Structure formats: C-alpha cells, structure tokens
Amino acid sequence: MANKLQATMVLDKSYQISEVDQRIYGSFIEHLGRAVYGGIYEPGHPEADEQGFRKDVLNLVKELQVPIVRYPGGNMVSAYNWEDGVGPKEERPRRLELAWRTIETNEMGTNEFVDWAKKAGADVMMAVNLGTRGIDAARNLIEYTNHPSGTYWSDLRRAHGYEQPHQIKTWCLGNEMDGPWQVGQKTAAEYGKIAKETGKAMKLVDPTIELVACGSSNTDMPTFPEYEATTLDIAYDEVDFISLHQYYGNNSNDPANYLAKNMDMDHFIKTVTATCDYIKAKHRSKKTINLSFDEWNVWYHSREHDEKLEPWTVAPPQLEDVYNFEDALLVGSMLITMLRHADRVKMACMAQLVNVIAPIMTENNGQSWKQTIYYPYLHASVFGRGVSLQPILSSPKYDSKDFTDVPFIDCAAVYDEQGEELTIFLVNKHLEDTIPLDVDVRSFEGYTIKEHIVLEHHDLKAANTKDTARVTPHTNGDSSLADGKLHAQLHRTSWNVIRLHKTKTNES
C-alpha cells in the first residue's frame, strides 16, 4: 500500500488568535539546588563579574531573550523570610530551607536578584510567602521594593544602597498552596481569603501591579479544577492571573505516548480557561482572568538520584535532569500549545533556567553548556514575537496508550507584521517516517523562505554534555515556496522552524 502520510495547512494573516505576550517566554529561578549558587551566582568563578554573577551564564540567558523570571520560589517561598536576604551579607542568617531540606545561606536575595535580572535583560516576577506568613510580610516587601522613599521599608532599601525603587510589577500570591508538600498548605477557601486580603493590601501600596493567584499544583490534584473556581470566587476582584503548573515524564519509555502529552496540556489550558470564565459570568464581571503557566517542563530523569541526597547541605545537585532529544521534541510541542492559546496564556515560565530541570547547565568553577531543550525554547522566544495565527491543519493521526487521535504534526505560526516575517513552528512526532507538508500561504504575497531550521537526531535518547554537543540545530531543512504554496519535508521526530520574510523589490 502506498504511504498515505501527508499533511496540509492553510495560513492566512487574517486568521489571528492574539498578539503574543512576550512574557510567555519567561523562566524561573528558585533557591533550589544549584539554580542560584553555582548557577547564576558563583563568586570566584573565572567568569564571575564584580557581583559574583557568572557572565557565561548571563550570555546564554541573554541569547534566549528571557523577558521575565519568577523568583524566589517555588516551594521554597512558603517558608521564606524575605528580610533574611537583604542588607549586609555578613549579617544575613543561615536558615534551614524546609521545602528542599537544604541550608540557605541568603547570600543572594531580593536586591541582588533584581541586579541580575537587569543584567539579563529580564523583568522580575516576585513571589510572596503565603504559607508561614501573609499580609504583613507581603505589604512590607512591596513597600521595600516599589515605594520611592520616606517610609521605614523604602528608606531601608535606600540604606541598603538602592536609591531608586525596583518597580516590580508582577507578583505571585504564594505557590501551589493546595499541595500537601507545601509548608502552610491551605484549602481553596482558606487560600482564596488570604490571597484576596494580601492582594488588596499590596495594591493599596502600589495600584499598578499585577497579581497571580495560585491554581492547582497539577491536573492530578483531587480538587482540580474546584480549587481554581473557589479561589477565584473569593479573590476575583483582586487578582489578574491564575497560575498553572505541569511537568511531564517518560518513565515507561513509551515515546509515542510521551510525545502526545502536550494534548494533556491543551486540555488543562481549556479547562482552566472555562473555569475562569464561569466565575467571570457568575460575578457578572467585565474583567477577564488570564493564565500564567508559570511552571512547565519535562521532569523525571533526576528523581531517583535526588532521593539519595543527604539533607541539610548548601546547594546540592538537586533536580539536575539531563535532557535528551525526545525531551526537546515535547518541549517544542508544549511551546506550540501555549502559542495556540496566546489569547489567554499571557505569561509562562519554563521551570527552571539553570541547572535545576533547566536548558542551561554548569559545573562549579567550570564551564556551561546548552541542553537539548535549550533550542526549541530559543527559537520560540527569538522568532515567536508577533501575532499568533490560527493554522487550519489537516494531519494524519495516531493512537497511543493514553491518547487518541494524536496529530503527527504539531504546528503554531507567528506573524510579525512590522518586521514582515512569518515563522512556522512544527513538530513531526512520527517515529519512523518523513511527512510531506503543503501550506497555503497565498495571503503572504511576495514572501520567500529565509531559513528552515531543523533539530533532529537518529537517537531519541541522545543528550548534550559539557564535552559533547550531540543535539544541535542545522539550517538545511527541506522546503520550497512557489505560487503561494510552501512545500516542506518534515523528517521523522524533528523540530522545525520555517521562517518566511517579504523580499524587497527595487522600484524602477
């Protein structure tokens, strides 16, 4: 029988989902493992600057063009006293960090992280402790960071060497408060009340801020999505976003099923969106709550290793997943999924940025390198700015253990009208075959192919190390464009970025 694998698609500049909020390409730095100590901050390293920040890591972060970074947690924030991390370093206390059972030295804190973020070209998404603390600590922190001067906390910041306020605009009201692993776990009603009152106080200090309420820790929580509904029912008027967290793994070594897991992410987004809109209707509100997918990634490789770590050490190697090629493919599909929901997913944070389930790895006093997942994240962030288009895609499908009717082809497209560029992101999930793709792009008259980037490898388990970069992209993609039709050969298990731009014609 002839091979019937064939995909077709229509892209029209009028079929628009939404402007892509650049914050969808955010990331996350928690005081966890070597994300901070040995990751972004390592005084004495050959590449350390005058503040102890690793310049090699900063360069890799700047290449990603990360627009916003969530800090300082994560589970860690639920027992964190922010005051421990400001003022003279020699006076800062060492604390037991309960979430990850380590020693926190507090060498890095709020001011230092703001400095690092500025050097990285990123804004800060700051989280407040709603586990062991609440309204008072949060209002003091935002007074410290955002109020100009003339009060106790703002003048304390100035005494610490920061004359101008930090003007942090995005704030998380706690973290995963539904989780039994959380210090200070709360029911939805308990959390909704503290989130509402804390948010109210914070907006009295600075009415210009945006607030992110905690949603469920993941879709497997028994209270999902009731937790979101109850929380928003109580705190709707005070908050602007609801958070989503989700990690995926391939413990059963079933690549076909693994690569389909972004379908679960798609369902998660749709369910939370519907929940938000139900509460909007219930409240007869004109305000729309948008989504902050502020923890997402692949995470499963390091779990067995981490169970053997000794507690109460400083910056142990926790959650240091070594990512392989199939992980990069799923990360690409997850990015595509969020772009397809750009009308509601306005912020997202790949968790995390350095060493801890991260695209960037380092060795202490040594080098840094790019993991496989770095590349789809890079391509989406750099080329995925503009308007997310609605592709009309017809793709062959397959069934897997947990999913039915899985399209072999995942696709998102972003149109940069000002730059006159169209970028098409594609994943071919077929484990064996190339799939031909025909795309109708007649509305993009005068456009030509600028480049076709491909990330592929014959071994799904191939990974990058400090010594060998086995998985890297190339620009030898097989595509052509003529008479408004784009023809591409999408190689088996590949991530593709096809960039079109309008060619300049010489006027006579």
83 annotated active-site: no
Nearest CA among 441, 437, 420 for reference residue 483 = 441
What is the average per-residue pLDDT within 242-269?
98
Q: Which fold has domain 21-383?
A: TIM Barrel (3.20.20)
Asked if residue 269 has pLDDT above 80, the reply is yes
Separation of alpha carbons 485 and 489, rounded Å: 13
Token pair recorded at residue 69: 């970074």
176 annotated active-site: yes
Q: Can you give the residue ranges of every domain in the chain?
A: 7-13+388-502, 21-383
Same fold, 7-13+388-502 and 21-383: no
- The Cβ-side half-sphere exposure at 415, using a 13 Å CA radius, reads 19
- Give the number of other CB atoms < 10 A from CB of residue 207: 7
What is the SS3 assignment for 308? coil
pLDDT for 342-368, tens place per residue? 999 999 999 999 999 999 999 999 999
pLDDT for 287-300, tens place per residue? 999 999 999 999 99
**φ/ψ (deg, to 5) at 334:** -70, -40
Looking at residue 504, what is its pLDDT?
78
Token pair recorded at residue 404: 């039915």
Residue linked to tokens 């397809």: 340
Looking at residue 223, what is its pLDDT?
97
Q: Which fold has domain 7-13+388-502?
A: Immunoglobulin-like (2.60.40)
pLDDT for 69-99, tens place per residue? 999 999 999 999 999 999 999 999 999 999 9
pLDDT for 378-419, tens place per residue? 999 999 999 999 999 999 999 999 999 999 999 999 999 999
Separation of alpha carbons 449 and 296, rounded Å: 32
3-class DSSP string for 134-145 = CHHHHHHHHHHH
Using only C-alpha atoms, the chain has a radius of gyration, in whole angstroms, of 23
Alpha-carbon dihedral 184, 190, 196, 197, rounded to 10 degrees: -70
What is the SS3 assignment for 281? helix
Looking at residue 506, what is its pLDDT?
54
Asked if residue 101 has pLDDT above 90, the reply is yes
Side chain identity at 233, as an amino acid letter?
D
Separation of alpha carbons 190 and 426, rounded Å: 43
Residue of 30, 104, 112, 176 marked catalytic: 176
Nearest CA among 255, 393, 254, 288 for reference residue 336 = 393
Percentage above 70 pLDDT, the chain? 99
Give the CA angle between residues 351, 322, 408 to the nearest 5°.
Answer: 75
Q: Strands 290-298, 241-248: parallel, antiparallel or unpaired by DSSP?
A: parallel
- The Cβ-side half-sphere exposure at 134, using a 13 Å CA radius, reads 12
* Single pTM value for the model: 0.97
Alpha-carbon dihedral 113, 115, 120, 123, rounded to 10 degrees: 70
Asked if residue 508 has pLDDT above 70, the reply is no
Nearest CA among 286, 192, 285, 187 for reference residue 234 = 192
- Give the number of other CB atoms < 10 A from CB of residue 354: 25
Query: By the 8 A CB rule, do 212 and 238 touch?
Result: no
- Give the number of other CB atoms < 10 A from CB of residue 151: 14
What is the SS3 assignment for 354? strand
Residue of 30, 83, 295, 456 marked catalytic: 295
Per the DSSP assignment, residues forming a β-bridge with 410 are: 427
Q: Which 8-state DSSP code applies to residue 152? A: H
pLDDT for 406-457, tens place per residue? 999 999 999 999 999 999 999 999 999 999 999 999 999 999 999 999 999 9
